[in-house]
Amino acid sequence: MFSIIQAAGWPIWPLIACSILALALVIERFVSLKSQKVAPPKLLEEVMTVTRNGVPGPDVVSVLEKNSALGEVLASGLRMLNASPRCSEDELRSAMESTGRLVAHRLERYLSALATIASAAPLMGLFGTVVGMIEIFGSQAPSGATGGSPAQLAHGISVALYNTAFGLIVAIPSLIFWRYFRARVDEYLLTLELAAERLAHHLNTLRK
């Protein structure tokens, strides 16, 4: 592996840094976007069951808020009712929407960085290719004859090819994981939005 890095020349180091960063971001997103941390499947039903007997107190709401991202959104609606029992349905929805926007921002964290790596890695590989081509032309004799240094010529070719390949190796998985996480976040946001709608309708029905 080290021999490949040596053959690829100094332009490979920014690509290696990008690959390490991309791997760290992918692992972090896999951990953070687990369904239990974002939207536990039975949480909404449990909240609706509990609220049939009245709005839970602040202690229960605080526990719900720490449960997950969905719990945080639902807790904001319950907290609104605790603070203002006669609030309108629009005010209740507005409270949950405001919290939902904060949750959405947190779920989308680092996705732009992963997308940037996916876009920049091929360009960085292309830069390494250009550096390799410059070394190839630099290996030629000043008179334009082909009697340049074979070692320098081979090094220039290896720099060009290795950087091109490594740029694609970094970019393709980064793009795949970015699209995967983007779709997953969109699915979670839809789940949170529908759950907030159901809870708002449920609470409004109970107050009538």
Q: How far apart are CA 133 and CA 160, in angstroms?
A: 6
CA 37 to chain centre: 15
Look up residue 6 and give its amino acid: Q
The predicted structure's pLDDT at residue 140: 62
DSSP 14: H
Tokens of 89: 């349905």
pTM, two decimals, is 0.83
- In the predicted model, is pLDDT for residue 56 greater than 80? yes
The predicted structure's pLDDT at residue 1: 62
The predicted structure's pLDDT at residue 127: 87
Single out the residue of 130, 191, 183, 123 nearest to residue 161, CA to CA.
Answer: 130
- In the predicted model, is pLDDT for residue 126 greater than 70? yes
Matching residue, tokens 């536990």:
40
Single out the residue of 47, 45, 36 nearest to residue 74, CA to CA.
Answer: 47
- In the predicted model, is pLDDT for residue 180 greater than 90? yes
The predicted structure's pLDDT at residue 164: 87
Single out the residue of 167, 166, 131 nearest to residue 152, CA to CA.
Answer: 131
The predicted structure's pLDDT at residue 142: 56
Mean pLDDT of the chain: 86
